[in-house]
C-alpha cells in the first residue's frame, strides 16, 4: 500500500531565513543521507520502496535500502552573517534551554565550541558572536542544552558565512605588524589574554597576568603601567557599561586610562565590542605613553570629556568602527560635549577609520602646539554625520584624509593651522559648509578668522567631490590656481604631484612637506573613487559598529544640514538609552581563552552530513534567502517585476547592487541556475568573473565544489538560485 508524507511535509517544511528542518535517512549499509524538507514536495512509501520527490529535479528511489527515517525539527534561526573578522547568529529561544554554539571553517577543521560569554540570551531570542576570525567561510551550529544535556535533535546550523578582514590601511600599521591584541590576519596573538566585561562584572572581573592577578576593568589595565606585563590583552565589552558599573577611573577628566611606563611603551591591548550593542556611557578613554592599542566596534555616549583622547607620546594606535555620540552637555561650545576623538601631544602613527560621528560638535582634533615631529595621522572612511566642526582641526601634524563622507556639516570641514600639512583625497562633501580651510587666508580671511589667530597650513587636494558646486548656498574652495596668496587649498591634477616650495601660507610662511609622495614615509593603500564613498561608508562594511549598532536615528537633512545646535530628539534618545537586557546563555565557563586555545571540540559530532537533492533559493521582499545554504548581504524588493521558472512565478527578488554579496559552499560539483526578471538579461560576477547571458536565465552546467561568491556586474534583480 502506498503512503505519502505530504501532510507531514506541510508541517515540517516551513523555512526560516537561514535554517530548515531535515529528514534524516539511515540506509541499510549504514550510510547517512539528509534532505532539507523545504526542498521536497513529499516522501512516498510503497512497501519497502521509499521515493523522495524534490521541488526541482528528478525523484530519488530507495528500494528496500532504507533502515530508518527521522525528522529533525530545528530551532528557527532568525539571521546569521559574517562581518569583519567576526560572524554572528540569532535564533528563537527554546523554553528552559541554554545553548552550546560551535564554529567550523577557517582554523577550525572540526566543530569547535566558542567561548560561553559570547552566547547571550535576550528577551525573545538568543545570539552568539564569534570574533578573532581570519578571512574565509564559516558555519555556526546552535545546540540547546536542557538539564545539562545537549538536545541534538533540535540542532540548527547556518549556511556558509563569509568573513572579511578589517581594512588596515593607514599610518597605524606603517612598518608595524599587529596593532593591539590581534595579528594582521585577524587572529589573536600568541599568548593573548581575553577578558569579557559587562555591567555585572566590570568591578569584579579578574585577569591572571605575568605580573600577578588583577581585578576590575581599570585595575587590569593599570597593571600595564609598570611595564612588567608581557601578554597582549583583548578586552571584550558586552552590552552597556555605565560609569557607575566601573571599579575606578584612572583619569578624572576622561574615565578609563591606558598608560605605559614611558613614552611609546608597547601595550598590545585591544578594547572591542561584541555584537551590535556594546556601549560605554558616562565615560571615555585616555591613552598615554602607549604603543599598539586598538579600539573597535564600540559605542561611546555622554562621556565626561573626550570620547577617546590620544594624549601624550603614543604611537601605532588604531581607532576604527566606533559610534561616537554627544558627550556630557556643558555651556557654550561644549553643549554637545568636548572632543569626540582627539589626537595630540606627540601622538603619531595613528589611524582613525570607519568611525561614525553622530552630530558631534568638536569631532576630531589632530595636534596641539607642542608636537616635536610631523606626527603622521590617517583618517579614512569616516562618516561625519551632520557633525559641526573639526574634521579634522589640524595643528603641526602631517595628516592624510581620504574617502571620508562629510554628510551635512554645518560649520566647517577640514582645517589646516600652525604649519600643518594635509592631503585631502577622494572625499565626498555633501551639504558641507566651508569644506576646506586654512587659518587666516582664503575663505577664512573673509571674516575675522575661525582658529584663534593661529597661522595657516597647506592643504593638498585631489579627487574630492563637492556635491553642491554651483549652488549659491555652498561653494568650491578657493584654490591656489585662482589666488596665489590667499587660498584654501592647492589642487593637483594627479595624486602623485608635489606641492611646489613656492606655495606658502599667508600667515606663517610655511610650506607643504610632501609627506604623501615620499615612498619611505607613506603606506600602501588603494583609495575608492569619491563617487563611491557615500555608499561604502554607509554600507554593511562601512562606518560604525556591526549593522550600524543598536541605536538608530534618522536626521532631517532639510533642518539638520544647517543646524549646529543640539538635536533634542537625539539627546533624549541618548539620555534614555539603557541597552538591551541580555543574560549569559553559554555553558562552558566565563573565562576567556588565550591566543593558543582555539576552543573545545564538540564530542558529539564529527563533520557535516551532505545535503542531497536540488536546492531552490528564492528571496523575500527584504532580500532574505529561503535556503540556509546561502549567506546574503543586500536589499530585496517586491516591485521589480516578475520571473517565471518551471511554470512558477516569483515576484520578490534580491537587488543586485554594488554592496550585494551572495556566498555559499558546495561539497560536490553541481549545476547552477540563476533566474533574473523576465524583462532583464542575466548579468553577474561569479567568483570575480564577469558573465552576461542572452536571456533572463543563465545556467552553468557544472559548478566545481568549493566556496563561491556572486556579486553585481550590472544593475539587475535576482529572483531565484537553483543548485542541482
The CATH number given to whatever domain includes residue 145 is: 2.60.40.10
Question: What is the pLDDT, as a whole number, of residue 333?
Answer: 83
Question: What is the pLDDT, as a whole number, of residue 588?
Answer: 53
Top pLDDT among 349 and 587 is at 349
Q: State the total domains in the chain.
A: 4
Residue 100, all three cell numbers: 552550546
Q: Residue 255: CB partners within 8 Å, gap ≥ 6?
A: 243, 246, 249, 280, 282, 283, 284, 285, 286, 303, 304
62 and 101 part of one domain? no
Residue 441 lies in a domain: no
Rg (CA), the chain: 28
> How many CB atoms are closer than 10 A to CB 153?
13
What is the full DSSP assignment across 263-327?
Answer: TTEEEEEEEEE-TT--EEES-EEEEESEEEEEEEEEEEES-SS-SEEEESS-EEEEEEEEEE---
Residue 713 lies in a domain: yes
Q: What is the CATH number of the domain that holds 302?
A: 2.160.20.10
Residue 257 lies in a domain: yes
Write out pLDDT tens, residues 31-50: 888 887 777 888 887 777 88
Residue 407 lies in a domain: no
55 and 97 part of one domain? no
Q: What is the CATH number of the domain that holds 681?
A: 2.60.120
3-state secondary structure of 444: helix
Residue 451, all three cell numbers: 582658529
Last residue of a domain, one of 165, 188, 221: 165
Range of the domain at 156: 77-165
> How many CB atoms are closer than 10 A to CB 167?
18
115 and 19 part of one domain? no
Residue 429 lies in a domain: no
290 and 150 part of one domain? no
Banded model confidence at residue 315, pLDDT cuts 50, 70, 90: very high
Residue 585, all three cell numbers: 546563555
Residue 406 lies in a domain: no
CA distance 219 to 236: 15
Write out pLDDT tens, residues 226-282: 999 999 999 999 999 999 999 999 999 999 999 999 999 999 999 999 999 999 999
Residue 599 lies in a domain: no
Banded model confidence at residue 712, pLDDT cuts 50, 70, 90: very high
Backbone angles phi, psi at 63, to 5 degrees: -100, 100
Q: Do 152 and 339 meet the contact criterion of CB atoms below 8 Å apart?
A: no
User: Phi/psi zone of residue 714: left (φ > 0), alpha (ψ -120 to 50 degrees), beta?
Assistant: beta
185 and 267 part of one domain? yes
231 and 91 part of one domain? no
What is the DSSP pairing of strand 348-353 with strand 315-324?
A: parallel
66 and 86 part of one domain? no
183 and 330 part of one domain? yes
User: Phi/psi zone of residue 323: left (φ > 0), alpha (ψ -120 to 50 degrees), beta?
Assistant: beta
Residue 637, all three cell numbers: 524588493
Residue 369 lies in a domain: no
- Containing 533, the helix (H) or strand (E) segment is helix 533-537
280 and 324 part of one domain? yes
CA distance 140 to 98: 16
Last residue of a domain, one of 326, 342, 358: 342
Q: Given a cut of 70, is residue 433 above it in pLDDT?
A: yes
179 and 152 part of one domain? no
This prediction's pTM: 0.81
> How many CB atoms are closer than 10 A to CB 558?
8
105 and 222 part of one domain? no
- What are the distances in angstroms from CA 391 to CA 52, 170, 210? 63, 17, 41
Residue 171, all three cell numbers: 599610518
213 and 262 part of one domain? yes
Last residue of a domain, one of 165, 186, 213: 165
Burial class (CB in 10 A: 0-12, 13-18, 19+), 29: exposed
3-state helix, strand, coil in the chain (%, to 5): 10, 40, 50
Amino acid at each position: 500500500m502506498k503512503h505519502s508524507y505530504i501532510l507531514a511535509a506541510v508541517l515540517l517544511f516551513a523555512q526560516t531565513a537561514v535554517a530548515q528542518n531535515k529528514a534524516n535517512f539511515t540506509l541499510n549499509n549504514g550510510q547517512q543521507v539528509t534532505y532539507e524538507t523545504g526542498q521536497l514536495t513529499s516522501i512516498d512509501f510503497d512497501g519497502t520502496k521509499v521515493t523522495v520527490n524534490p521541488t526541482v529535479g528528478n525523484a530519488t528511489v530507495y528500494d528496500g535500502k532504507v533502515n530508518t527515517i527521522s525528522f529533525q525539527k530545528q530551532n528557527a534561526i532568525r539571521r546569521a552573517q559574517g562581518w569583519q573578522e567576526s560572524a554572528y547568529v540569532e535564533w528563537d529561544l527554546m523554553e528552559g534551554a541554554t545553548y552550546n554554539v560551535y564554529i567550523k571553517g577557517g582554523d577550525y577543521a572540526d566543530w569547535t565550541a566558542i567561548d560561553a560569554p559570547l552566547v547571550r540570551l535576550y528577551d525573545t531570542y538568543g545570539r552568539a558572536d564569534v570574533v578573532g576570525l581570519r578571512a574565509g567561510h564559516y558555519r555556526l551550529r546552535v545546540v540547546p542544552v536542557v538539564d545539562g544535556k545537549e538536545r541534538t535533535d533540535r540542532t540548527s546550523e547556518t549556511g556558509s558565512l563569509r568573513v572579511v578582514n578589517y581594512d588596515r590601511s593607514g599610518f597605524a600599521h606603517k612598518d608595524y605588524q599587529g596593532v593591539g591584541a590581534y595579528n594582521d590576519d585577524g587572529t589573536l596573538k600568541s599568548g593573548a589574554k581575553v577578558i569579557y566585561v559587562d555591567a555585572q562584572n566590570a568591578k569584579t572581573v579578574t585577569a591572571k597576568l605575568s605580573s600577578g592577578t588583577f581585578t576590575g576593568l581599570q585595575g587590569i589595565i593599570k597593571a600595564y603601567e609598570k611595564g612588567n606585563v608581557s601578554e597582549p590583552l583583548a578586552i571584550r565589552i558586552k552590552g552597556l557599561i555605565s560609569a557607575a558599573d566601573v571599579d575606578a577611573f584612572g583619569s578624572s577628566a576622561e574615565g578609563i586610562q591606558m598608560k605605559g611606563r614611558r613614552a611609546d611603551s608597547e601595550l598590545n591591548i585591544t578594547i572591542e565590542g561584541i555584537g551590535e550593542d556594546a556601549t560605554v556611557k558616562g565615560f571615555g578613554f585616555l591613552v598615554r605613553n602607549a604603543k599598539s592599542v586598538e579600539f573597535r566596534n564600540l559605542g561611546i555616549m555622554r562621556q565626561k570629556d573626550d570620547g577617546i583622547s590620544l594624549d601624550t607620546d603614543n604611537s601605532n594606535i588604531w581607532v576604527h568602527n566606533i559610534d561616537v555620540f554627544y558627550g556630557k552637555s556643558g555651556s557654550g561650545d561644549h553643549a554637545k560635549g568636548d572632543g569626540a576623538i582627539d589626537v595630540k601631544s606627540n601622538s603619531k602613527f595613528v589611524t582613525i577609520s570607519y568611525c561614525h560621528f553622530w552630530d558631534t560638535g568638536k569631532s576630531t582634533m589632530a595636534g596641539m602646539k607642542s608636537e616635536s615631529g610631523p606626527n603622521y595621522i590617517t583618517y579614512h572612511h569616516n562618516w561625519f554625520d551632520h557633525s559641526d566642526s573639526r574634521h579634522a582641526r589640524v595643528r603641526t601634524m602631517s595628516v592624510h584624509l581620504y574617502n571620508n563622507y562629510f554628510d551635512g556639516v554645518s560649520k566647517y570641514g577640514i582645517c589646516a593651522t600652525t604649519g600643518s600639512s594635509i592631503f585631502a583625497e577622494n572625499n565626498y562633501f555633501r551639504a558641507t559648509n566651508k569644506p576646506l580651510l586654512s587659518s587666516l587666508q582664503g575663505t577664512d580671511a573673509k571674516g575675522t578668522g575661525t582658529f584663534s589667530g593661529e597661522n595657516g597650513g597647506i592643504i593638498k587636494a585631489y579627487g574630492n567631490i563637492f556635491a553642491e558646486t554651483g549652488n549659491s548656498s555652498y561653494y568650491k574652495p578657493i584654490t591656489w590656481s585662482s589666488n596665489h596668496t590667499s587660498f584654501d587649498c592647492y589642487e593637483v591634477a594627479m595624486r602623485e604631484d608635489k606641492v611646489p616650495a613656492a606655495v606658502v601660507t599667508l600667515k606663517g610662511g610655511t610650506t607643504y612637506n610632501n609627506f604623501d609622495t615620499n615612498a619611505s614615509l607613506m603606506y600602501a593603500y588603494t583609495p575608492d573613487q569619491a563617487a563611491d564613498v557615500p555608499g561604502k561608508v554607509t554600507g554593511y562594511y562601512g562606518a560604525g559598529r556591526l549593522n550600524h549598532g543598536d541605536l538608530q536615528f534618522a536626521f532631517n537633512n532639510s533642518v539638520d544640514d544647517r543646524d549646529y545646535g543640539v538635536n533634542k530628539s537625539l539627546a533624549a534618545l541618548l539620555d534614555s538609552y539603557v541597552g538591551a537586557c541580555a543574560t549569559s546563555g553559554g555553558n562552558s565557563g566565563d573565562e576567556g581563552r588565550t591566543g593558543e586555545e582555539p576552543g573545545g571540540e564538540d564530542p558529539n559530532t564529527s563533520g557535516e552530513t551532505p545535503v542531497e537533492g536540488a536546492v531552490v533559493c528564492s528571496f523575500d521582499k527584504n532580500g532574505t534567502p529561503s535556503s540556509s545554504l546561502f549567506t546574503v548581504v543586500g536589499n530585496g524588493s517586491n516591485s521589480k517585476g516578475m520571473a517565471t521558472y518551471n511554470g512558477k512565478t516569483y515576484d520578490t527578488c534580491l537587488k543586485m547592487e554594488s554592496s550585494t554579496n551572495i556566498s555559499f559552499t558546495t561539497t560536490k560539483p553541481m549545476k547552477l541556475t540563476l533566474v533574473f526578471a523576465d524583462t532583464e538579461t542575466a548579468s553577474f560576477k561569479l567568483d570575480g568573473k564577469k558573465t552576461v547571458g542572452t536571456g533572463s536565465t543563465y545556467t552553468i552546467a557544472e559548478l566545481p565544489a568549493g566556496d563561491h561568491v556572486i556579486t553585481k556586474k550590472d544593475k539587475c534583480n535576482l529572483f531565484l538560485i537553483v543548485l542541482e
